[in-house]
Amino acid sequence: MELYEKYEEMGFKVVSINSGTLGPAAGEFLDENNVRHIVLSDEDREVFDAYKVSGIPVTVVIDHEGRIIYRHLGFAPGDEERMAKEIETLIAWRGGEV
């Protein structure tokens, strides 16, 4: 959420994709945590298969032309700094916007 809020004005978008359906508990979680980005459901696992997701969470940064420029499996303290560097590199390459 912090990265989304930091880079949103530059065109950075976040999309979360859940494998399966988004039930009432998921909706409550999203509301309670003030999740503002797009959250989709991948009931048939088409997106998971297309991106060869082998575990969760997986982070994929995709440029404006649909190319994967960064991929990371899991999450640990400090990962957000590496993700920020990748996003900033993309923003610099695009002249100030994603």
- List the chain domain ranges: 2-93
> Under DSSP, is residue 3 helix (H, G, I), strand (E, B) or coil?
helix
How high is the pLDDT of residue 46?
92
Hey, what CATH topology would domain 2-93 get? Glutaredoxin (3.40.30)
Of 34 and 93, the structure prediction assigns the larger pLDDT to 34
Q: Is the pLDDT score of 21 beyond 70? A: yes
Q: Give the N- to C-terminal CA distance of the chain in Å, as an integer.
A: 17
> Which residues, in sequence order, are CB contacts of 62 under 8 Å at separation 6+?
68, 69
Stretch (H or E) spanning 82: helix 79-93
* pTM, to two decimals: 0.71
pLDDT at 98: 58
